Amino acid sequence: MRRVRKKKNIKVDRISELPECIVHDILSYLPIEDVVQTTILSKRWYSMNKNYPVLCFDFDYFIKNLKEKFAEGGSDFRKALKTHRKHVYKSLHRFSRKKDADCPLLENLTLDSCEGFNRVYIHNLLRLHSVDFYETCYTPVVKVKIGSQSIQNVSITASSLARDWVKINIDACDHLKFLLLRCEGLEQKKFHSLIAKLPLLEELYIFNCQQLRAIKISSPRIKTLVVWPDSNDTCLNTIEIAAPRLENFIFISERERENPCVIKVADCCVGLKTLMLRCEVITDKMFHKLISKWHLLESLWIFGCNKLRRIKILSPQLKRLHIVRCPKLQAVEVGSRNLLKLFCGGPKEPEFSVADHLYKTGGLRFVHEVDLDFDFLSYGLAKMLRYFIRDEDLVEIITTACSRIF
């Protein structure tokens, strides 16, 4: 941008005045050769691009409205397909050992020279074999290898169009602190072998891993654990937690089944502060046994626990309690004098036994089920997640999936 002042051309760098997060976002859409064309911004922008902290392979952009385009029968679909390939996958050739201009979707993704990056997102990594509606064939890449010491956050999401998943090799990432897995074909033995190699792991998110029958977490540093089985998942039977530093735990089971998933908590796990629970078959006895382990609990969210009737929560530090759609719930007793907010929504109001100050301050609120709309439930849940999930991209993923919870 140029500005004329006193008959002189003064070059003004407006973009550099923007916050770095916005500049990073701009850079993510531009190839490096286009970024460094300017004389003013070359040095700074080149340095920022070279040290850009996030490396994102998100194939959602590629298959975003694929079914809609096929349904419409648009004649320009092939042209749009080529445009997507050109702009989305051009940068992927740097990380592929097999150079194939005709099919830029990778068979092997190797990230062993990514110094400067600390986060890697690999979402819906697919190979597209045909663009014909009836012959379209999607298969996942064969292998993902991440070997950079600087990478601390890894998010790997398999596409819902592919049932099998890739071979994951992140042995060299012993500094990894964040791991998100949504891999329907990930086997139990490989999962535990993977977790055992990550001693510094602090946040673990497990979504739709249908091959896992038992999850055992014994990491000494893990602080956040999220387990969210698929609605069709009937394999997960046991979750064993032995994490002394665990502060946040989410378990959301979307399917009612005869044998509920048993959650076993070791005696060393006493520091939990946030618990979010949805399990349709959990009983009063199971609930009280689970809650009794955590005396430092500050926030508790209970969703869709259809068998709960009378619950008693004696955690002295509890400050927030949310109970939504527990239709058989008759009585709620809370022994915490620090309770600031109790929200309950369902078909009928249960009997509450809480401290007197909650009535005086208006902290107790009941909403009838007919007044609970979808937006409140879905976005309300995402808002709750923001209390302890720092990664904004992950919150977006969970917000999108919220419609399946209720």
Q: Over its length of 406 residues, how does the chain's per-residue pLDDT go in tens digits? A: 444 455 555 555 566 666 666 666 666 566 555 554 543 444 555 455 445 455 656 554 444 444 454 445 444 545 554 554 444 444 444 444 444 333 344 455 666 655 556 667 666 554 444 444 334 444 445 466 666 666 776 777 664 444 444 556 665 567 788 888 877 677 788 888 888 888 888 889 888 777 788 899 988 889 999 888 866 656 788 899 999 999 999 888 866 666 678 888 888 888 899 898 888 888 899 899 888 888 889 889 888 888 899 999 988 888 888 888 888 999 998 888 888 888 888 788 888 888 776 766 667 777 665 555 444 444 445 554 554 444 454 555 444 444 333 3
Going 191 to 181 to 122 to 162, the CA torsion angle's sign is positive
Instruction: Map residue 96 onto helix, strand or coil.
Output: coil
As to burial, measured by CB atoms within 10 angstroms (0-12 exposed, 13-18 middle, 19+ buried), residue 86 is exposed
Partners of 140 in beta bridges: 126
Residue whose token pair is 């959602």: 60
Q: How many CB atoms lie within 10 A of CB 392?
A: 8
**Global model pTM greater than 0.85:** no
C-alpha distances in angstroms, 347 versus 328, 343, 372, 404?
9, 14, 10, 20
C-alpha distances in angstroms, 203 versus 28, 53, 79, 177, 284?
26, 18, 41, 6, 29
pLDDT at residue 44 in the model: 54
Q: Are the CB atoms for 242 and 268 separated by under 8 Å?
A: yes
Q: Are the CB atoms for 262 and 255 separated by under 8 Å?
A: no
CA distance 125 to 25: 22
pLDDT at residue 102 in the model: 38
Buried b (16+ CB within 10 A) or exposed e, 156-189: bbbbeebeebbebbbebbeebbbbbbbbbebebe
What ranges do the domains of the chain cover? Answer: 12-48, 53-176
Q: CB within 8 A of 270, min separation 6: which ones?
A: 244, 293, 294, 295, 296
pLDDT at residue 246 in the model: 92
pLDDT at residue 222 in the model: 92
pLDDT at residue 309 in the model: 92
User: Of the candidates 312, 173, 296, 186, which has an alpha carbon nearest to the alpha carbon of residue 244?
Assistant: 296
C-alpha distances in angstroms, 189 versus 172, 185, 216, 277, 361?
19, 12, 11, 26, 52
CA distance 219 to 188: 17
Q: CB within 8 A of 377, min separation 6: which ones?
A: 324, 402, 405, 406
